[in-house]
Amino acid sequence: MKILSINCGSSSLKFSLFDMKDESVIASGVFERIGIEGGAYKIKYNGEKITQEIEMPSHTDAVSVLLEKLIDLEIIKSLDEIDGVGHRIVQGKDEFLESTYITEEVVQKIEDFKDFAPLHNPAHVLGIRAFMKVLPNVPMVAVFDTSFHQTMDKEAYLYPVPYKWYKEYGVRKYGFHGTSHRYIANAVKEILGGDQFKLISCHIGNGGSITAIKDGKCVDTSMGFTPLAGIMMGSRSGDIDPSIIPYVMEKEGKNVGEVIDDLNKSSGLLGLSEFSSDMRDIISKCDEGDEKALIARNKYARRVVDYIAQYYVLLGGADVIAFTAGVGENSIPMRRLICEKLACLGVKIDLDKNNVMGERVKISTDDSKIEVWVIPTDEEVMIARDTLNIIKNR
């Protein structure tokens, strides 16, 4: 069985084609600048990277080029080999508790949720519709970033604001990166050989969120109504005092959208360092003793630790802390800094074992009170697994 896992943005489309026999990736790639001049694609296949510039006025064009290339490059012999397509969807609100077979009604709901994810959901719909046009008979599945967090209770997901905001306008914590946190929970289940554990999953990449997981289920998570909430990120502020917003609007003569844009794109590591949102740049400047880089790095670690500490208390302890995504998988110094700040919880890491990038490894010492793991996430394989399960059981 071959399954395509798709992540469609407003001007880009990422894909991985899986052979579900062994969950191996047959080919993967990205189509960029869809609907914008200067389009191009990159396809990785058989250890080679194929790139080409090509104009793609619409998502349907991108999907057509993708399928054409899969055949031209002899990655598949015919389109009949594609058994299913799974789509990553950012916002499923409280309507989609799990991944779902895509029908017209499902597409409509994803579209209806656009006010809750204006940058993402409309783009996902473009992707789904493009595949519906080009592969009309292939079953498709929607995999939501929000589903895993639907096990949070009201005490976790309600904000202490007028209840009417929740009842009438859907103001609540939804949480994101759910597919990644679910992958990490499954991986820990495999590692420990059971599902009775308390896990703090730290997905720290460009965006970042931390999730408290008990017996495989999400209890609380750091992102909120939108992915702007929670820890400090590459260019996002995470939680701040909301009164800052009208104050800066007045100071800078900006409207609310412009200030929210500043909080999404000019804050976090970039905001404090004033030169980069990338942890690699920040760490290398820290090594030169750059003061702003040091503040940015330390504040980042502190915000992660704030949430780990909060969830340690919420869960009544923790068996495992897991690091994943760009920073969590690769930044040796950031993991070390975070873990040093957790020494009072009995966390101890082995500096040699921590010297890894992108590998599944336990980095804590044998006498650490909490096991600390690096676990590379794989949202694409989760999308492919869900797609296969759903189409097989229909």
- For the annotated catalytic residues, the residue numbers are 145
Least CB distance to ligand ADP at residue 176 (A): 10
Element (DSSP H or E) covering residue 16 = strand 13-19
Identity of the residue, 178 or 207, whose beta carbon is nearer to ligand ADP in the bound complex: 207
Element (DSSP H or E) covering residue 260 = helix 256-265
Least CB distance to ligand ADP at residue 158 (A): 27
Identity of the residue, 321 or 325, whose beta carbon is nearer to ligand ADP in the bound complex: 325
Cα separation, 146 vs 58, whole angstroms? 27
The pairing of strands 82-89 and 100-101 is: unpaired
Least CB distance to ligand ADP at residue 206 (A): 3
- Three-state SS at 56: coil
Strand partners, 75: none
Least CB distance to ligand ADP at residue 326 (A): 2
Which among 360, 349, 352, 341 has a CA at the least distance from the CA of 299? Answer: 341
Identity of the residue, 92 or 207, whose beta carbon is nearer to ligand ADP in the bound complex: 207
Q: How many CB atoms lie within 10 A of CB 344?
A: 7
Q: How many CB atoms lie within 10 A of CB 190?
A: 11
Identity of the residue, 60 or 331, whose beta carbon is nearer to ligand ADP in the bound complex: 331
> Is the CB of residue 386 less than 8 Å from the CB of residue 143?
yes
CB-based closest residue to ligand ADP: 326
Element (DSSP H or E) covering residue 69 = helix 59-72
Q: How far is CA 346 from the centre of its chain?
A: 29
Strand partners, 48: 45
In eight-state DSSP terms, residue 174 is -
In eight-state DSSP terms, residue 136 is T
Least CB distance to ligand ADP at residue 341 (A): 18
Which among 199, 196, 275 has a CA at the least distance from the CA of 234? Answer: 275
Least CB distance to ligand ADP at residue 340 (A): 17
> Is the CB of residue 374 less than 8 Å from the CB of residue 360?
yes
- Residue 200 main-chain phi, psi, to 5 deg: -110, 110
Identity of the residue, 11 or 206, whose beta carbon is nearer to ligand ADP in the bound complex: 206
Encoded amino acid at 305, one letter: V
Footprint of ligand ADP on this chain (CB under 6 A)? 205-207, 234, 278-280, 325-327, 330-331, 357
Identity of the residue, 270 or 370, whose beta carbon is nearer to ligand ADP in the bound complex: 270
Encoded amino acid at 310, one letter: Q
